[in-house]
Amino acid sequence: MSKKTNIKISDSLESLLNIKTKRKPTINQINSSKKSTDSGTPLEKEPFSQIFLEKMHQIQVSDSQIITYINSPAKINRVYITAKAFDEIIMLATAVNEISKDRWGPDSAKLEVYCYVLGEKQEFPHDKPQIITDIYIPYHQASETNVVVPEEGILEVKDYIEEHQKVVLGWAHSHGHYEVYSSETDEVNHLTLLQDTSNFAIIGGFRIKYIYGITVNDKGTHLGVILTQFPCQHIQRAEDHQFEIIGESYTKEEYIKKYKEIKAMLIDRVNVKQPETVYSEAEQIHHINEELLTNFAIKMRKAKNILFERIPEDLDGNFNEIQQVLKEYDTLLLDSAEESFLESSKELIRTIRNLKEIR
């Protein structure tokens, strides 16, 4: 793995919009001009390795046209993981929320957490993707919207895998108790780890590179994203909602013991940031009502000021001016009501989303 600065994983819309770093190209942007299928793909004018040349075929489609193509292997579309490693990832998601509840109460159980997923170091070549057998928790900061892995957290995993004869097969993170999905920032992290690692398998005669990305929540729901990079540098993406889970899970006694170990590691290695305060349904409804009345009252006072400050004392001689002031007053009343209800509607939508997540 090459030396990198902080890795930031973010899933909230607000966090994504506030990220001010230069955006990396998405997978679709990188590969918009390159396609790969199992049946074969016309070759572009670029250098190919000897293994590609050996797989080339030609079809005579007319007297003057010959198409050269290659048979490309299928992309990797499964996450291979031991049952115990999978258990440990779910333990992470549960334990970080338990830590949060212990510190800030039951409504704070919604934090994310990060780990690397590891496999056993083996001699190349592999005839299939490697199996995730272990996890590693780096030093990092966890919050309800993102995790940040500092440079020391990235460098220490390098020392760990060298000492324990492991390889980094990808990464995993939790979404607290929220739904699992792969955000745009997650997709960038998939690509970053693909570039920084060297996991290869020989599939269909081709030496292809791959990486795993896993998202879970504390309910055990999970999603795997697998990137496959072919020798021509084309990258294909696949999702796996099932996983190829191998071997036996922890026994009840083993699970309890391992969970305590992982929770202790999180306390030692993860800087947990306090989530925002969560209000009850009655408190949020009261808050919205008060906000609506306050905002509307402020706008009403502005309208009243126009009415009292601009109405002339001589009512009989200023009929047209009075009409204009009353017209502006009516317009301001309507605009004030529209703005107030629009702001309250936005707040109501946010409240409904929060209440849905709490439940």
Q: Are 190 and 234 members of one domain? A: yes
315: confidence class by pLDDT, cuts 50, 70, 90: low
pLDDT at 44: 39
Q: Show the domain range for 64.
A: 37-70
- Tally of structural domains, the chain: 3
pLDDT tens figures, 251-298:
999 999 999 999 999 999 999 988 876 556 666 666 666 666 666 666
CB 264 within 8 A of CB 252: no
Last residue of a domain, one of 272, 299, 324: 272
Residue with more model confidence, 56 or 312: 312
Q: Is the pLDDT of residue 352 over 80?
A: no
Check residue 209 and give its pLDDT: 94
Give yes or no: residues 216 and 331 share one domain: no
Same domain, 268 and 161: yes
pLDDT category at 70 given cuts 50, 70, 90 is: low
Residue 19: what pLDDT?
38
Confidence bin at 34 (pLDDT 50/70/90): very low
pLDDT at 199: 93
User: Residue 32: inside a domain, yes or no?
Assistant: no
pTM of full prediction above 0.95: no
DSSP string, 142-189: E-SSEEEE-HHHHHHHHHHHHHHTEEEEEEEEE-TTS-----HHHHHH
Q: Does one domain contain both 151 and 295?
A: no
The answer to whether residues 205 and 338 belong to one domain is no
Q: How far is CA 21 from CA 3, 18, 184, in A?
A: 19, 9, 14
Pair 139, 53 in one domain: no
Pair (286, 220) in one structural domain: no
Q: What percent of the chain has pLDDT over 90?
A: 39
pLDDT value at position 151?
Answer: 87
**Cβ-contact 106, 276 below 8 angstroms:** no
**Residue 339 and residue 198 share a domain:** no
pLDDT grade for 54, boundaries at 50, 70 and 90:
very low
Quick check: is 2 in a domain? no
| pLDDT of res. 208 | 92
- Whether 152 is covered by a domain: the verdict is yes
Look at 31 and 228; give whichever has higher pLDDT. Answer: 228
Residue 105 belongs to a domain with what CATH number?
3.40.140.10
Reply yes or no: is the peptide bond before residue 47 cis, omega within 30 of 0. no
Phi and psi at 73, nearest 5°, equal: -70, 160
Q: Which residue has the higher pLDDT, 129 or 13?
A: 129
Query: Is residue 187 in some structural domain?
Result: yes
Q: Please, what's the largest Cα pairwise distance for the chain? A: 100
In whole angstroms, give the CA distance from residue 39 to residue 42.
10
Report the pLDDT value the prediction gives residue 15, as an integer from 0 to 100: 38
Tell which wins on pLDDT, 55 or 182.
182
Contact 316, 338 (CB under 8 A): no
The 10 Å Cβ neighbour count of residue 70 is 21
pLDDT at 4 over 80: no
Q: Give the tens place of pLDDT for each residue, 188-245.
A: 999 999 999 999 998 878 889 999 999 999 889 999 999 999 888 889 999 999 999 9
Q: Examine the domain organization and report whether 81 and 60 are in the same domain.
A: no
Percent of the chain at pLDDT > 70 equals: 58
* Domain assignment present for 31: no
Same domain? 94 vs 192: yes
Tokens of 158: 């390098």
What pLDDT score does 73 carry?
73
